[in-house]
């Protein structure tokens, strides 16, 4: 049969149709159908520390950091319309804040990580506030420049150990803590954000992205909601930044590395924009992949770019949207 004579017919599974609206589920089977993918992700992440060896456990921690940043990027880009390349800034601010609180004031990681998350998020939000009126690419450029700016200030003024950084920070108690802190904060961020975007606040933010005039006409300040959104993303980013400082017991300029701005975007493109869970999947694939390809030296970057390019060209919807469709729909070929 040639391609012209048949086409793929797609039908939503009935449970999907019913569970989207105001209707309810009628059996355990259907409940299981809806919960299975979520439980797979949660269970997989919680079980991972038991199956991985020490080396891959570190990779899991690194992947978790990228995953949280990627979710923040996705949230801002897909739900608020702000393309934020500030991952490096969040990691940097969070990491330096936590490191300094630890080194100078002697606070333990249980305190420095949450404190640094809040301090870093406030700082990022205040710095980005004047830029929130910028649209599209201008906001992206500013957020991309700020980490560079911060690096050069630290070098020029010889602040915080300058190029050497500060070593000997407290590290987390043991490798269980290391992993479960990141795994649990990742899951909390994922389900928290997914909840948020379906609440009224999320709808308003989406309105700002789609049709800001209607939001203004409804008497709602666009600026306030943008500030709130940036604060939320920065809070998550600075939290993992602070975590990273205590993971390696070290703070330094590489906390402001461009990787933290770029990898989350790659993970989001791969996983699927606007899904929030997609970027997590993307990060959990890309970070280990780039570790596995370490043996290839520079060729690793080529392969890496190739994968991204192929996704952008052939599966721009991303993995998550693709899998979701496959899961929720029957497909069959039918004659035309």
Partner 1 sequence: MAGDILLEVTELSKSFGGVHAVVNVGFTLSRGDVLGVIGPNGAGKTTLINLLTGFVKPDRGRVIYKNRDITGAAPNKIANLGLARTFQAMRPYHSLPAYKNLILPLNSPRIKKAAHGKLGDRDSVAIDILEEIGFERDARVPYKLAGSLPLGYQKKLELARCIALKPEIILCDEVFSGLSMAEITSMVPLLEKMVMQGVTLIMVEHRLRELFRVANRVLVMNFGCKIAEGPPLETMARDDVKAAYLGGGGSK
Close Cβ partners of 228 (under 8 Å, ≥ 6 residues apart): 201
Q: What are 333's two structure tokens?
A: 């070929």
Shortest Å, Cβ 214 to partner 1 = 7
What H or E segment, with its residue span, contains residue 333?
strand 329-335
Answer for which of 69, 140, 169, 206 binds partner 1 (CB under 8 A) is 206
Whether the CB-CB separation of 193 and 276 falls below 8 Å is answered with: yes
Nearest CA-CA partner of 85 in 130, 129, 148: 148
Residue whose structure tokens are 């079980």: 47
Is the Cα dihedral 161, 70, 229, 248 positive or negative?
A: negative
Whether the CB-CB separation of 97 and 116 falls below 8 Å is answered with: yes
Distance from CA of residue 174 to its chain's centroid? Answer: 25
Shortest Å, Cβ 269 to partner 1 = 22
Answer for which of 12, 210, 331, 334 binds partner 1 (CB under 8 A) is 210
Residue 273 binds partner 1, judged by CB under 8 A? no
Binding window for partner 1 (CB under 8 A); candidates: 79-87, 210-218, 241-249, 258-266: 210-218
Whether the CB-CB separation of 237 and 193 falls below 8 Å is answered with: no
Residue 21 binds partner 1, judged by CB under 8 A? yes
Residue 308 binds partner 1, judged by CB under 8 A? no
Q: Tell the burial category of 180 from Cβ atoms under 10 Å away from its Cβ (0-12, 13-18, 19+).
A: middle
Shortest Å, Cβ 200 to partner 1 = 5
Answer for which of 14, 26, 163, 211 binds partner 1 (CB under 8 A) is 211
Answer for which of 11, 31, 184, 216 binds partner 1 (CB under 8 A) is 216
Residue 27 binds partner 1, judged by CB under 8 A? no
Query: How many residues of this chain interact with partner 1, rule: CB under 8 A?
Result: 19
Residue 336 binds partner 1, judged by CB under 8 A? no
Shortest Å, Cβ 282 to partner 1 = 24
What residues pair up with 166 in beta bridges, in sequence order?
251
Answer for which of 3, 54, 217, 313 binds partner 1 (CB under 8 A) is 217
Query: Hey, how many other C-beta atoms are within 10 angstroms of the C-beta on 142?
Result: 19
Q: What are 302's two structure tokens?
A: 């080529």
Residue 214 binds partner 1, judged by CB under 8 A? yes
Measured from the CB atom, is 164 or 199 closer to partner 1? 199
Measured from the CB atom, is 167 or 221 closer to partner 1? 221
Residue 272 binds partner 1, judged by CB under 8 A? no
Shortest Å, Cβ 32 to partner 1 = 27
Shortest Å, Cβ 229 to partner 1 = 15
Q: CA-CA-CA-CA torsion for 149, 152, 157, 163, nearest 10 degrees?
A: 140
SS3 153: helix
Residue 130 binds partner 1, judged by CB under 8 A? no
φ, ψ (nearest 5 deg) of residue 132: -65, -20
Shortest Å, Cβ 217 to partner 1 = 6
Whether the CB-CB separation of 8 and 331 falls below 8 Å is answered with: yes
As a three-state string, the secondary structure of 258-308 is CHHHHHHHHHHHHHCCCCCHHHHHHHHHHHHHHHHHHHHCCHHHHHHHHHH
Residue 219 binds partner 1, judged by CB under 8 A? yes
What H or E segment, with its residue span, contains residue 141?
helix 136-156
Binding window for partner 1 (CB under 8 A); candidates: 45-53, 155-163, 180-188, 208-216: 208-216
Binding window for partner 1 (CB under 8 A); candidates: 41-49, 107-115, 147-155, 212-220: 212-220
Measured from the CB atom, is 4 or 213 closer to partner 1? 213
Which residues here bind partner 1, judged by CB under 8 A? 21-22, 200, 203-204, 206-207, 210-211, 213-222
């Amino acid at each position: 049969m040639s391609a012209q004579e048949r086409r793929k017919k797609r039908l939503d599974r009935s449970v999907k149709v019913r569970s989207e609206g105001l209707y309810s589920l009628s059996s355990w089977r259907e409940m299981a159908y809806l919960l299975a993918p979520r439980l797979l992700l949660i269970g997989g992440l919680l079980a991972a520390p038991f199956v991985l060896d020490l080396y891959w456990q570190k990779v899991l921690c690194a992947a978790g950091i990228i995953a949280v940043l990627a979710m923040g990027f996705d949230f801002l880009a897909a739900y608020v319309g702000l393309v934020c390349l500030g991952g490096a800034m969040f990691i940097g601010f969070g990491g330096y804040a936590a490191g300094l609180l630890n080194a100078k004031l002697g606070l333990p990681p249980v305190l420095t990580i949450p404190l640094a998350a809040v301090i870093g998020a406030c700082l990022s939000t205040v710095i980005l506030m004047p830029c929130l009126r910028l649209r599209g690419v201008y906001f992206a450029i500013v957020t991309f420049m700020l980490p560079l700016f911060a690096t050069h200030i630290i070098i020029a003024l010889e602040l915080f150990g300058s190029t050497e950084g500060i070593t000997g920070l407290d590290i987390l108690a043991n490798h269980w803590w290391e992993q479960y802190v990141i795994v649990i904060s990742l899951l909390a961020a994922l389900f928290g954000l997914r909840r948020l975007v379906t609440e009224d606040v999320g709808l308003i933010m989406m309105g700002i992205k789609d049709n800001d005039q209607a939001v203004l006409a409804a008497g709602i300040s666009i600026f306030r909601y943008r500030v709130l959104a940036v604060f939320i993303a920065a809070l998550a980013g600075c939290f993992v930044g602070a975590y990273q400082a205590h993971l390696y017991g070290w703070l330094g300029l590489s906390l402001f590395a461009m990787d933290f701005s770029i990898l989350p975007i790659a993970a989001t493109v791969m996983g699927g924009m606007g899904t929030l869970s997609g970027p997590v999947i993307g990060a959990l694939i890309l970070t280990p992949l780039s570790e596995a390809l370490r043996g290839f030296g520079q060729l690793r970057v080529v392969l890496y770019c190739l994968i991204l390019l192929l996704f952008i060209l052939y599966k721009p919807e991303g993995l998550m949207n693709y899998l979701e469709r496959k899961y929720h729909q029957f497909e069959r070929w039918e004659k035309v």
